[in-house]
């Protein structure tokens, strides 16, 4: 907590979007981006056909469980028709945090984790606290209230939900799913796919990048309804600027324009990750590495399939795989030096585990 006089001075330089220090969202080779041959031009956008819709009675019975389980499953079964639709219906938990103007306060706006045995999305509500610090000026109090109002706005919260629900989509709670009538639901999360240790660490990055893209696509849906570019804030402001500058046209139905927009989104979000965000997620990746399992003998890496799952989004009424966006080949993510060390150590642990008992004993004794 900081004193009122210091707080009043700091508020003179206060900017809403940069008020709180820290990451606002928690959770996330031979990549398609880097090495796999691109498809023919007419097939650069992969469209996945919806499955037949069940009866309304069946859907109504399963609706709440399905929507809370996987965004793309809900879309494919006709329960929702857009990211915004899912964001408005999917169940989540709420957490309340009081904000009294401490500019160094760490606030987690949303996260996805196991709570009471179930994986849950949690969204934060900001409670403006204007009475904890005595002698606050009216201006400082207004700033506190303004910040809470800004964060608690439907659009702002919707973008955060879109982010966290995408983590849920790529890593669903299959253990607690009871969708008996659904024959083709997601059976496992991307972190259960066969991958090398390095690929697994990269999946942590791709899962976070894709969740940020899903937030942008949520805002894009609002733009298509309202036509206001100021809806793109913070990390997403580049997209609104690109519209104003004529670099992209989300309203166009021309194939080339759509392809250009999709490529622009993925390329820009990858660059933002490399230049701004990846160092904030080192601890997450290192912790996540503990759950990596080596590829079973005789089986191949499923890294490419995992990327397909991670980057298949709801786009204008269909599912599209943004792994394939254009003839341009995007670079894969680069691990930080700290994560590389963790990957190396994890590999060594896995290799020791795979050694037969006799070889382990010889290694321990220092013999060849």
pLDDT, tens digit, 9 for 90 and up, residues 171-211: 998 877 656 666 677 788 999 999 999 999 999 999 999 99
Which residues, in sequence order, are CB contacts of 82 under 8 Å at separation 6+?
A: 221, 314, 317
Q: 138-152 and 4-11 helices cross at what angle (nearest 10)? A: 60
Look at residue 364 and tell me if it is in a domain: no
Number of domains forming the structure of the chain: 1
Contact 197, 289 (CB under 8 A): yes
Pair of tokens at residue 290: 């503990």
Residue 52 confidence (pLDDT): 58
Look at residue 193 and tell me if it is in a domain: yes
Residue 69 confidence (pLDDT): 78
Look at residue 360 and tell me if it is in a domain: no
Look at residue 182 and tell me if it is in a domain: yes
- The whole-model pTM stands at 0.81
Look at residue 128 and tell me if it is in a domain: yes
Q: What is the 8-class DSSP label of residue 274?
A: I
Look at residue 319 and tell me if it is in a domain: yes
Q: What is the 8-class DSSP label of residue 49?
A: P
Look at residue 366 and tell me if it is in a domain: no
Boundaries of domain holding 281: 4-28+33-351
The pLDDT confidence band at residue 139, using thresholds 50, 70 and 90, is very high
Rounded Cα distance, 153 and 234, in Å: 15
């Amino acid at each position: 907590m900081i004193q009122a006089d210091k707080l009043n001075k700091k508020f003179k330089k206060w900017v809403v979007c940069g008020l709180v220090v820290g990451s606002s969202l928690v959770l996330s080779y031979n990549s398609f981006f880097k090495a796999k041959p691109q498809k023919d031009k007419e097939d650069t956008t992969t469209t996945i056909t919806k499955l037949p819709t069940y009866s309304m009675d069946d859907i109504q019975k399963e609706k709440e469980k399905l929507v809370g389980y996987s965004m793309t499953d809900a879309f494919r079964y006709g329960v929702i028709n857009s990211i915004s639709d899912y964001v408005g219906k999917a169940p989540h938990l709420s957490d309340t945090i009081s904000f009294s103007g401490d500019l160094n306060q760490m606030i987690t706006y949303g996260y996805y984790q196991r709570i009471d045995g179930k994986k849950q999305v949690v969204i934060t509500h900001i409670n403006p606290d204007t009475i904890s610090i005595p002698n606050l000026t009216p201006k400082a109090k207004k700033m506190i209230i303004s910040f809470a109002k800004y964060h608690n706005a439907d659009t702002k919260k919707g973008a955060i939900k879109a982010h966290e629900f995408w983590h849920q989509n790529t890593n669903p709670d299959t253990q607690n799913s009871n969708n008996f009538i659904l024959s083709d639901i997601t059976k496992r999360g991307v972190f259960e796919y066969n991958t090398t240790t390095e690929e697994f660490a990269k999946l942590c990055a791709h899962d976070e990048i894709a969740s940020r893209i899903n937030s942008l696509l949520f805002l894009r849906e609002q733009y298509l309804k309202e036509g206001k570019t100021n809806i793109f804030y913070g990390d997403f402001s580049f997209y609104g600027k690109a519209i104003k500058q004529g670099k992209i046209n989300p309203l166009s139905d021309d194939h080339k324009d759509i392809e250009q927009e999709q490529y622009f989104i993925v390329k820009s979000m990858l660059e933002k990750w490399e230049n701004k965000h990846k160092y904030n997620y080192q601890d997450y990746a290192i912790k996540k590495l503990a759950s990596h399992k080596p590829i079973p003998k005789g089986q191949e890496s499923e890294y490419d399939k995992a990327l397909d799952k991670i980057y298949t989004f709801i786009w204008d009424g269909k599912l599209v795989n943004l792994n394939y966006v254009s003839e341009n080949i995007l670079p894969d993510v680069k691990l930080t030096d700290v994560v590389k060390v963790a990957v190396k150590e994890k590999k060594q642990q896995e290799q020791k585990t795979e050694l037969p008992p006799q070889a382990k004993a010889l290694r321990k004794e220092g013999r060849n």
